[in-house]
Amino acid sequence: MKNIVIVGCGKGIGLAAAKILSEQHRIIGISKTENAEINQLNIEFYPLDILSGNLDDINFPETIDGLIYAPGSINLKPINRLTEDDFRNDFEINVIGAVKIIKKILPNLKKSDHASVVLFSTVAAKLGMPFHASVAASKSAVEGLTKSLAAELSSQKISVNAIAPSLTDTSLAAQLLSTPEKREAAAKRHPLQGIGTAEEMAEMAAFLISDNARWITGQIIGIDGGMGSVKI
């Protein structure tokens, strides 16, 4: 049994990962979103905003084997409508929150035989897409953080990887998938003609946390229906 911290476990990919991993591991869940689903899981849940909350209030285990940082943002606007605060807010959510929890639990991760950190990027960090300037900028920073920490922490046997999804069917993307017409149009933009699910992303996160991924680090893994690599 591993000790795994999941930030953003209240909904979307974080919740899906908590459901999968709580069946076999001890989960310390952190989220500002509290709901019936998360309360039904067998996890240690802390209702806390990662940016403004005090991590000293959380009783972390002495050894932590995995971290999944799942908060994200979808702030799609043309550049002339994006404010400096939009960029700051996206950077805070996607980068600063991840840095905050990694710095807090790094001593615990170092005590594991082999720990794994999983972050989340986006296909828009690789593929230029209109109206994605703010989120793509912050997620590109996540990719840089991933590779830098993978190098820095490799001597401690800590793996660091990022998953880069395309549009995923979660509450975060609800407005983009709010009608059958929008869903069909979104699906057609992907070579595999579909939309990703939170469970598909969570399964990859669970794999990267597992012992089967001990030889993987510094990778940006696209789960994007082929959008980032295939032209049709």
pLDDT per position as a tens digit, 64-96: 999 999 998 888 899 999 999 999 999 999 999
Total-model pTM: 0.94
Class in CATH terms, 3-223: alpha beta
Please give the torsion angle defined by the CA atoms of residues 200, 2, 112 and 48, in that order, rounded to the nearest 10 degrees. 70
How is the chain split into domains, by residue range?
A: 3-223
DSSP for 152-214, please give it: HHGGGTEEEEEEEE-SEESGGGGGGGSSHHHHHHHHHTSTT-S-EEHHHHHHHHHHHHSGGGT
pLDDT per position as a tens digit, 162-211: 999 988 877 665 676 667 777 787 678 888 888 889 999 999 999 999 99
